[in-house]
A and B are shown apart, each in its own frame.
Chain A
Amino acid sequence: MVQLNNTNKSISRPFTITSILLLIVGMLFGIMGSLQYIIPGLLKEQLSFEKIRPMHVSSIIFWIIIGSVGSVFNYLQLHTQKKLYSRMLAKATFFIFSISIIVILFSYCFGIFGGREYWEFNPIIALPIFIGWILFMINFIKSIGSFRNQPVYVWMWLTGIFFFLFTFLESYLWLFPYFRNNIVNDMTIQWKSYGSMVGSWNMLLYGSSIFLMEKISDEKKYSSSPIAFALYFIGLFNLMFNWGHHIYTLPTYPFIKNISYLVSMTELLILGRIIFLWKSTLTKNLKHLNSITYRFILAADVWIFSTLLLAIAMSIPAINIYTHGTHITVAHTMGATIGINSFLLLAISFDILATHHNNDIGNKKYVNLGFWMTNISLFIFWISLIIAGIIKSKWQMTLNKEPFSTMMLQLKPFFIVFCISGMALFTGFILVISSLIKYHIFYKRK
């Protein structure tokens, strides 16, 4: 496998560095938001929760999107053994995304909204994001050339790019009164688009992860194997049709819910495969334990298992009515975005920014401490949310409910644990990231 030189890497590095900055900023907003849960009224007049939450969510969403786009640009060149079709288009994509996220964060800070949950910014800002994505798509398709006999990760990247574009446009159908003037219609289409959109950026990221694993192990068999394509189709099938589990309690068409329930159960095949291959995967991963990249991939494997288990349980309508609207849903989202997406992106970031010396990274003591700190605190963070969710679920199902504020008071000890473990998680990430950045600067100077 040919190593990319610094010139070619100069395309993906700005994406990776910007995405890491967004992770840091997003985590800081997250800590501020969790403090507002335990100290009611904190910064109420300056940065109240309706501003902090979208600032946290958008920073994290763009950490995943910008990081994934950077990883595709990086590995695409390695895969084709050629430079990108257009460096200028890649630069334009980077500047458009970067300026958009700055405008978005400032608009939230000043309380300028107008969009819907997760894309709360004024819909006009969706336009540059759309244009940036089109440029990314053109660059990708032109760089690949022919799609004949391509490995699974190329198809995953293409799927992610196409479906993000489609679902992003779909999520703005509410701009037409036909879609928005009834809450049930509006929410049906909203969650149809959101459910698939998450699947689309997962496709980009998982594609890059498969490429990275093959690069490290120097084996190229998996990505062209029938099992890889079978798993890709299960993932795609779920991306397209399992979104209905978000809206089981919405009075929408029953067939949407039934299709989603059935499709979600196909994820049991993925779960079964993880269990079946557990021992061999573990043995293989332990061989590369010195590599920080591989260590984060191994941690992501554990979180994939836990998150998938929770996701499958939540996709059963009979269980979903207990978990829906509770912090169990938040636990699932946090497990997926931190334990899977963020860990995989960190593994990729190490590969992009600190190549060659991945096994002997900067100050190993701090990286090790950071790695274990993130994993242990994430576990405590996750458990505290699940317990808070169980208590809220019990409250939701009680006949004579206590007031909402009384129930929230009962959850306070778990919010305190959640907040403290969130701070520890942030510290762990900072230890890892600071070593990575230090090494990157050192390596560049050399």
Chain B
Amino acid sequence: MIVLLLLLFCYLLYSLILYSELPVKLYSKNKEGEIGKLVWQKYNCNSCHQLYGLGGYLGPDLTNVYSSRSKEYIKSFLMNGTATMPKFNINEYEINSLIQYFRSIDNSGKSDPRIFRIKTDGTIE
């Protein structure tokens, strides 16, 4: 019982520390980007695409699509779809919000696994 209570206390403390001290403290003031996240969820983009390697595997990882492709390229995919991706009835405002969302994700870091250096203890940096 003591072990259980101790573990539970550590878990709740760990959770509270994470909630109060989130990893990124500079919040985006980009309203369009915030709406873009909801657009991303509205069309369930994560089913096929990944962000930081997490999500579906039918389409490519889009973490750094903003810096690797032009806005027009992204726009054209969103408007016309592909052989696999349907043509969504997505409006101009949603497209722009989604592009702003990609911009904020791109600013947060790189998802390319080649950037990591493996240390002898098995950790990465």
Q: Which residues of A contact B (CB under 8 A)?
A: 36-37, 40-41, 44-45, 48-51, 53-54, 113-117, 120, 155, 170, 173, 177-189, 191-192, 233, 236-237, 240-241, 246-254, 256-258, 261, 316-322, 324-327, 330, 392, 396-397, 399, 404
Contacts and interface: CB of A to CB of B under 8 A. Distances in A.
18 contacts: A40-B83, A44-B85, A49-B48, A50-B86, A53-B47, A54-B47, A114-B42, A181-B34, A185-B23, A191-B54, A233-B3, A256-B18, A317-B123, A317-B124, A318-B118, A321-B118, A397-B113, A397-B114
Contacts of B114: 396-397, 399
Contact of A252 (B23, B48, B54, B57): B23
Contacts of A252: 23
Contacts of A41: 83-84
B58 A261 contact: no
A180 B19 CA distance: 12
Contact of B46 (A116, A327, A330, A397): A116
Contact of A188 (B23, B34, B46, B111): B23
A36 B48 CA distance: 11
Interface string B46-64: 1110111111111111000
Contacts of A186: 37
B76 interface: no
Interface in B90-116: 104-105, 108-109, 111-114, 116
Given A50-B48, A251-B108, A113 B42 contact: yes
B92 to A, nearest CB: 20
B53 A249 contact: yes
B58 A37 contact: yes
Nearest to A173: B19
B15 interface: yes
A188 B11 contact: no
**10 tightest A-B CB contacts, nearest first:** A325-B53, A251-B109, A50-B47, A185-B22, A404-B60, A240-B11, A113-B44, A50-B44, A317-B124, A252-B23
Contacts of B10: 240
A107 B13 CA distance: 37
A234 B92 CA distance: 51
Contacts of B57: 325-327, 330, 392
Interface of B: 3-4, 7, 10-11, 14-15, 18-19, 22-24, 26-28, 34, 37-38, 41-48, 50-61, 81, 83-86, 104-105, 108-109, 111-114, 116, 118-119, 122-125
Contact of A49 (B4, B47, B116, B118): B47
Given A187-B51, A396-B113, A49 B123 contact: no
A286 to B, nearest CB: 36
- Of the candidates A53, A180, A181, the one having the most CB atoms from chain B within 10 angstroms of its own CB is A181
A44 B26 CA distance: 40
Contact of A325 (B41, B54, B59): B54
Nearest to A43: B86
B34 A117 contact: no
B84 A117 contact: no
B41 A113 contact: yes
B12 to A, nearest CB: 9
A258 B23 contact: no
A317 B122 contact: yes
Contacts of A188: 18, 22-23
Nearest to A399: B114
A253 B21 CA distance: 10
Nearest to B30: A181
A320 B111 CA distance: 13
A324 B57 CA distance: 11
A49 to B, nearest CB: 5
Contact of A117 (B7, B26, B42, B54): B54
A53 B86 contact: no
A326 B60 CA distance: 11
B7 A236 contact: yes
B14 A49 contact: no
A212 to B, nearest CB: 24
Contacts of B123: 257-258, 261, 317-318
A177 B29 CA distance: 11
Given A117-B55, A241-B14, A396-B113, A179 B86 contact: no
A140 to B, nearest CB: 17
B98 to A, nearest CB: 13
Contacts of A404: 59-60
Contacts of A317: 118, 122-124
A187 B54 contact: yes
A367 B56 CA distance: 34
Contact of B53 (A258, A261, A324): A324
Contacts of A248: 124
A189 B18 contact: yes
Given A117-B47, A189-B22, 16 more contacts: A37-B58, A45-B86, A51-B44, A53-B56, A113-B44, A173-B19, A182-B28, A188-B23, A237-B7, A249-B52, A253-B23, A317-B118, A324-B53, A325-B61, A330-B57, A396-B112
